[in-house]
Structure 1
């Protein structure tokens, strides 16, 4: 299940759950908490920890809190759990894994750290990146062993900016695998999830320690969720908030669509900022280079880029290394004629890229007129009015590079595969806003830091709501690693 199908499921979930709050989880001493306010009074529920956000970071944190013997509730404003993790590919980077060992890939924690720092122009907080790198392998092993996530045992992705393949690939090539298994674990542990319940304010006691959250459910009832030990903010980024994007970086205005789910509106950043939380890197907004020019949705069919597809322009020329950083490729595409790029691949690449997982999206792209399958390169090129002669010359030269094993034009990383086996495919792509690297400033214990440089007592954060981990640019596959690593750390820290 991929891009188009997942978006359809999300929209369907919103419609079907207009009358549903939560998902029927047990709640022990607060078992009557789902009853409406009959007398207009504000209800209260009491837990050790309140987690705001039911995406990958929030669910990981909640599972760890409950596993440590504490009580926890998850507040999710949308009608479904999952956040952007649900509509992601679900791949996550980790060095020195059992999969790399099976495939004979040499890697190291230090190399992963260096790639991540370099990928963000060395503007990330090195201490946070060190924590990410040191805990990446244990994060994927936790997903495998404790959450029962299944990964392909004979395949790793190499996203742009990484020196070696290190992204574990979930079965089905989808964030659905992660969220469905995290959701199952949450249910098994009787962790209450309050869907369609929007956090409005993070509360503090007289001393300034965070001790709860004021939220409103779908019926307009106000609920106070008391937190004896603290609150974990895991609300995601602000890629779907045009207002916030324009506030922090006017470049990302109405011209850009977004790959993000509609709940990514920066709520947690705004609430924490009201408590004096420091922000970092808010101007750093990332686009994903290969998205649908019709919907802006991230295309997983276009993941052929990682498995050998070649990126060309209207004139039939290559113009960037296909495995360069996302921001580099996005800027390169926008500088081409019509601000568009065209991915071309053959049957060999199609088979290598697990295309069978993405056929629903594939068929939708064909219907939209943004993808063509043809018996010849000429036929495919003419469909998009690409310069046929120049494209044939470009591909012929690239095929020579594949034979010789070196890309003399752009020094492409990874395996260079010649495009020689019909049928051929060309897909029209455009960048969309994808990830916001900026957010709440945290330390290595996932404590939210205030403007004076001190931790805000009782307040923790994890995932895309935070800043400082990715610098100016996030490398592909690092978001899922980030949310699991720091989601678990936040859970450990809040219980200290």
Structure 2
């Protein structure tokens, strides 16, 4: 009996000790865990408005990030996937934003930070993870394709689709983490003479008039043969985008400055998202690979100077792409390369912001020049008149001006330029005003007719938040918000409304006068010019073949889009770019595949 009791007591003590040890272990974990495990919600503000996320935390570690909702531009939203991978792999918010996606990156990180705050934590409380770097040695990869396209913007994708349709094996290289380039962030309006909407509205137009407008708008510095190809094929390009690629065009036209008549088609949503999303879908349908984060670095030539391939760098690979047929350069202009801008035009320095994608750094131009390609018009750099004074971003709010509904004034409340004038003329006029800014006034009926809330609601939210746009019941109240001379502004409005009644603007000869400005509430936007388009680039012929400095064709090399020069002259008319990239992108793809 005594032995049994002793045994029982021993067992009880051992079990008790084990239990105590277990409890101490739990308590120890709790004491070393700074953040309570769970799923927490956070909200940030991106370019498209609110970004909402759910962040899962376990053992002081971010184990998952789910994007619940957002309204970021397709393509730019991939930045959130990239950042999610970086944050989770490092368990830290000290990560680099995604190039070209600053607003989205900032908004996403803001949302994750807010989720940590909801957990009662700060980023510093996350468990430190030692991320050891790899050897840094990249895998060497060699591939052969019929055609390599450099650049996945509107021109590059047009070229790739046409080349593939002609039976070629095509691959597209894009250095940015998203496809689209400047096309994606543009309004993507498309100048097409004799289009179907003009016929419905009874607007008389012609190919010759489009050529005349383009040459005149470019100060007669453009290559007339290239301009003729542009104008003669613009309508077919718009129909191809509609019928073959699936682009939806709105049932309305825009009247861009410098054009004699209203001839510019508008894509659904008045945004390049319609163009790029449909082109990417078509490319996927046709099994055309698009390699993102893959930067072309050099053109490969044979002993005769023919281009036979491309060298490129990926995140973990070095590529050699050999070609059976050709390389097509469609890598865009150099509007975001300040050093290159200043080299060719010292006036366009770092003090001038840019509307361009951060990928617009002139890489294709440099590569082509290194193998003897001729460049043309590099000094011609265009600014866009209505841009964000804080970032340089082109403002879609400007649609209202293109529909003819706005009055543009200075700080003194006076008009100083035709609202539908050439972009360069308007930009220089704005730079000459107080503060180098202008103010765009719009009334409620113009606001509704321009579909600003419908098409660009997130941008409006951004503008209100940053005091760049005001909505007020009276013109005086709106003027006072920006310190504009309200008395003079009212006089200007009254005078302008009189011009509407007379059907003529004797001051600035505004070429479209659709409506008065008199129905409240009233809106005023503050804006400034920014670099928008580089007219210069690689010299091509009408077949989109690249020419050398002696005027000879460089075999195996084609180019299309803003990377080329000679098509727009000294200045580009609004909506000519989409026609340009489509027409010459198609020509490059068709000819390269032969």
State the TM bucket, normalised to the shorter chain: over 0.9
Cα distance in 1 for partners of 2:202, 2:461 equals 36
Q: Name the residue aligned to 1:440.
A: 538
| Correspondent of 1:184 among 281, 285, 288 | 281
Report the more deviating stretch, 336-345 or 41-50.
41-50
Residue in 2 that maps onto 1:419: 517
SS of the residue corresponding to residue 172 of structure 1 reads helix
| Secondary structure, counterpart of 2:492 in structure 1 | helix
In 2 relative to 1, CA 207–7 (structure 1 residues): closer, same or farther, beyond 3 Å?
Answer: farther
Whole-Å separation in 2 of the counterparts to 1:398 and 1:415: 9
Q: 2: distance between equivalents of 1:190 and 1:462?
A: 22
TM-score with structure 1 setting the length: 0.93
Identify unmatched segments of 5+ residues in structure 2.
1-45, 49-70, 87-133
Q: Which residue of 2 aligns with 1:51?
A: 149
Write the mapping of 1:94-493 to structure 2, written as runs, cut at 5 A: 94-153=192-251, 155-219=252-316, 221-307=317-403, 308-355=405-452, 356-493=454-591
Regions of 4+ moved over 3 Å? 6-12, 17-20, 36-41
CA distance in 2, matches of 1:278, 1:38: 37
Number of equivalenced pairs: 477
Matching of residues 19-30 of structure 1 within 5 Å = none
> Partner of 1:146: helix, strand, or coil?
helix
Is the CA contact (8 Å cut-off) linking 2:74 and 2:273 kept in structure 1?
Answer: no
CA separation of 1:447 and 1:310: change in aligned 2, threshold 3 A: same
Give the Å deviation of 1:14.
3.4
8 Å CA contact retained: 1:56, 1:483: yes
CA shift for structure 1 position 13: 2.2
Deviation of the 1:191 alpha carbon: 0.5
TM-superposed deviation, 1:41 = 6.2
Answer whether contact 2:380 2:534 (CA < 8 A) is retained.
yes
Rounded Cα–Cα distance in structure 2 between residues aligned with 1:8 and 1:333: 29
Q: 1:66 aligns with which of 164, 175, 199?
A: 164
**Match of residue 109 from structure 2:** none
TM-score, normalised via structure 2 length: 0.78
Unpaired runs of at least 5, structure 1 = 21-35
CA contact (8 A) 1:83 1:236 kept: yes
Aligned partners of 1:407 and 1:416 also within 8 Å:
no
SS of 1:271's equivalent?
helix
CA contact (8 A) 1:151 1:169 kept: yes
Judged with a 3 Å threshold, the aligned counterparts in structure 2 of structure 1 residues 408 and 91 are, in CA distance, closer, same or farther, namely same
Higher relative contact order (CA 8 A, sep 6+): 1
Per the TM alignment, residue 323 of structure 1 is displaced from its structure 2 partner at its CA by: 0.3
Using the alignment, how far apart are the partners of 1:40 and 1:161 within structure 2?
Answer: 50
Deviations 1:238-260 (A, max 9, x none): 01111111111111111111111
Q: Does the 8 A contact of 2:75 with 2:179 survive in 1?
A: no
Asked whether the equivalents of residues 405 and 416 of structure 1 are also in contact (C-alpha less than 8 Å), the reply is no
Q: Measured at CA, do residues 112 and 319 of structure 1 come closer, stay the same or move farther in structure 2, by a change above 3 Å?
A: same
Quote the RMSD (CA, aligned, Å).
1.8
Q: CA deviation at 1:306?
A: 1.6
1:27 maps to none
| CA distance in structure 1 between the partners assigned to 2:306 and 2:193 by the alignment | 38
Secondary structure of 2:367's aligned partner: helix
What is the match of residue 79 of structure 2?
A: 14
Quote the Cα distance in structure 2 between the aligned partners of 1:97 and 1:305.
22
1:491 shift after superposition: 1.1
Preserved CA contact (<8 Å) 2:560 2:581? yes
SS class of match (2:456): helix
Question: 2:398 & 2:206 partners in 1: Cα distance?
Answer: 29
Following TM superposition, by how much is the alpha carbon of 1:495 offset from its aligned partner in structure 2, in angstroms?
A: 2.4
Contact 1:87–1:176 under 8 Å retained in 2: yes
Cα distance between partner residues in 2 of 1:40 and 1:287: 40
Instruction: State how far apart, in whole Å, the 2-side matches of 1:197 and 1:342 are.
Output: 41
Deviation at 1:11, TM superposition (A): 5.0
Asked if the contact 2:167–2:593 (Cα under 8 Å) also holds between the matched residues in 1, the reply is no
